[in-house]
Chain A
Amino acid sequence: MIEPNVAGGVIGGALIGISSVLMLLLLGRITGIAGILTGVITWNKADGLSWRAAFVIGLVLGAVLYQLFVGPLPMDMQASTPVLIVAGLLVGMGTRLGSGCTSGHGVCGIARRSPRSFASTATFMAVAVATVFVTRHLLS
């Protein structure tokens, strides 16, 4: 087993939860990053472009603050360039068709006890585990 980052995980997870709770309390919105991104890239001015763009800017700023005050971003890329492109396309298509990702379904939807979010989260978790099993153990 790899040594887990217990303190970082618990504190970071709580911050993600607090951010989602504040978004619901203040804006009445679900914090689904995939959906927020869709609103920005489709430039949907009629429905909350500015708060969505502000959230995405904040997301990047949060990571910039981490780099300024804590250290370099802990990022060890695991995939080759072609795989990253394919994976990005799949994540984009999948989150659009499936109406959400780890944040919208996994954190917020489950808290709302949405059956769609339970089904989505169980599905993408199981498929991702199967994908890693194939790429890490069957193909290598």
Chain B
Amino acid sequence: MKTSIAALICGIIFGLGLTISEMVNPARVIGFLDITGEWDLTLMLVMGSALIVTVIGFPLITRKAHPLLAEKFSLPTKTELDLPLISGAVLFGIGWGLAGLCPGPALAGLASLDPGVFLFVVAMIAGQFIGIRLEKALA
């Protein structure tokens, strides 16, 4: 229960961050990616600002024996630069460039009730299921 309340609050903060920064706006995202057009550097400010907080905060936290509400840290352990990692990043990059939406903004954007965002989220969920199948086939 405590972890769910904590996650709910963190989700709200994240959702406010995505909306206040306008990263829910595909026009802002594509504007950043369009480096040979009328470039919009907002996304760089958002990522830079987020990274200042995490780059300072993360090492201070992982020094602790365990998180406050859980027995242990659950962090990714893979270190290998393998084909699924890179091919996944390529597919994601194409989709992100086409729509200007990535998972966080797409989910937060559902609050706009825009049918296009719903369609994107349904397709993204279908894509994740296809991805899970592919992972099993490759393993």
Contacts and interface: CB of A to CB of B under 8 A. Distances in A.
Interface of A: 1-2, 4-6, 8-31, 33-34, 37-38, 41-42, 48, 50-67, 70, 72-79, 81, 83-99, 101-103, 105-112, 114-116, 119-121, 123-133, 135-137
A2 B40 contact: yes
Given A92-B128, A96-B127, A123 B86 contact: yes
Contact of A17 (B19, B57, B68): B57
> Which DSSP category, helix, strand, loop or mixed, fits chain B's interface?
helix
B58 A111 contact: yes
B17 A12 contact: yes
> Which DSSP category, helix, strand, loop or mixed, fits chain A's interface?
helix
A70 to B, nearest CB: 7
Nearest to B26: A78
Interface residues of B, number: 115
Contacts of B57: 17, 20-21, 24-25, 111
Given A88-B122, A93-B128, A123-B86, A29 B74 contact: yes
Given A133-B34, A133-B35, 20 more contacts: A16-B46, A17-B51, A19-B13, A21-B61, A22-B6, A26-B69, A51-B7, A52-B7, A58-B9, A73-B19, A86-B123, A91-B92, A92-B125, A92-B127, A92-B130, A94-B88, A97-B91, A98-B89, A119-B89, A123-B90
A119 B93 CA distance: 13
Contact of B11 (A59, A120, A127): A59
A91 B14 contact: no
Given A8-B22, A94-B88, A58 B14 contact: yes
